[in-house]
Structure 1
Amino acid sequence: MEVILLERIARLGQMGDVVRVRDGFARNFLLPQNKALRATEQNRKRFEREKVQLEARNLEAKKEAEAVAEKLSGQTFTVIRQAGETGQLYGSVATRDIAELASGSGFSIERQQVRLDRPIKTIGLHELLISLHPEVEVPVTINVARSADEAARQARGEDLTRRQAFEEPEIEDEFEEAPEAEGEGEAA
């Protein structure tokens, strides 16, 4: 099906482009969300009449998104989750969780705007993008930890995903000396 794009769509085209897409993608996503119109002669004329208004609305939305992007850029959100000794989470951190964290911090973010390739399943610092507008993406950091103390340590740069070896030199020295003392006593 051919459609006229009403806004920029990643990997598809710019506003005003007439593109060929699969019928299901057009019917289920582009048309219901008012991101495109069917490419009929009547809709082409309608687009030409409304083109200036659409571009002005898009420019205004982009400016608003850039203003929010300045405040959001470089933000770190902390998520406390239960995890095993190796740092593997018992659940995962998904787009919904990140959107709720951002909303709780005063940002109006929907889960569809969070660009997460796969759910976060380990503790640590995770970089991801939030798409505020088709042309404005902002990097944020998600700090996943077992406790607030661990989150603070990770923020300082510690890597908590590695198992830390416990060194007890006093005990090792005692075991090394004890067999030698017994062996010397028997020989005398």
Structure 2
Amino acid sequence: MKVILKETIDTLGIAGTECKVAEGYGRNYLLPQGKAVLATPANRKVMEQARAKLELQIAKEKKIAEEMAAKVKEVAITIKAKVREEVHLYGSVTSHDIKEALDAQNVDVERRSILLAEPIKETGEYKVPIRLYKDVEPEITVTVAAEDKQEK
């Protein structure tokens, strides 16, 4: 099924582009949510007329993302965790833990935009990319430290 995106979707493309999606995904999610329209000749014509407006919106979104990236690059968070053998964590640090630490510093990002390949299982310093927009991925510094024995 071919659809024209009405808004930017990370996995598909930017607003105004035509893409091919699975029938169920298009029919059950994209169309009812208003995120896309069927790629008919009439809809293509409407999108061509709205393209200038969309390009302005895309430029605005990218500028906002770049400003946010400058702010996010400066962020360094420390997460305390229980450890064994002074290096290995009892559990792991996940994107959920990173999101909570970012929220504590008033940095608002979506959890799914934190690109943590696999959970962190050892203490140390890690660079974790955050996807704010299609080509805007600043890295934050995440330090995982041993929790003091007295903290409980």
> What TM-score, normalized by structure 2, do the two folds share?
0.79
Structure 1 position 125 matched with structure 2 position 125:
yes
| Relative contact order, higher structure (CA 8 A, sep 6+) | 2
Higher helix share: 1
Q: Please tell me whether the aligned partners of residues 128 and 141 of structure 2 are also in contact (alpha carbons under 8 angstroms).
A: yes
User: Partner of 2:50 in structure 1?
Assistant: 50
User: Partner of 2:106 in structure 1?
Assistant: 106
User: Partner of 1:79 in structure 2?
Assistant: 79
User: Partner of 1:37 in structure 2?
Assistant: 37
AA at the equivalent of 1:67:
E
Structure 1 position 5 matched with structure 2 position 5:
yes
Distance 1:146 1:22 in 2: 46
AA at the equivalent of 1:52:
A
Shift of 1:147: 3.1
Distance 1:96 1:33 in 2: 26
AA at the equivalent of 2:40:
T
AA at the equivalent of 1:78:
T
Number of residues of Structure 1 aligned to a counterpart in Structure 2: 148
Shift of 1:67: 1.0
User: Partner of 1:97 in structure 2?
Assistant: 97
Structure showing greater radius of gyration is: 1
Distance 1:110 1:10 in 2: 13
Distance 1:29 1:120 in 2: 33
Distance 1:132 1:102 in 2: 14
Identity of aligned residues (%): 39
Structure 1 stretch displaced more, 57-66 or 9-18: 9-18
Distance 1:107 1:63 in 2: 17
Change (3 A) 1:24 1:119: farther
AA at the equivalent of 1:50:
A
User: Partner of 1:67 in structure 2?
Assistant: 67
Change (3 A) 1:29 1:86: farther
AA at the equivalent of 1:114:
I
Change (3 A) 1:142 1:30: farther
Q: Where in structure 2 are there 5+ consecutive unaligned residues?
A: none
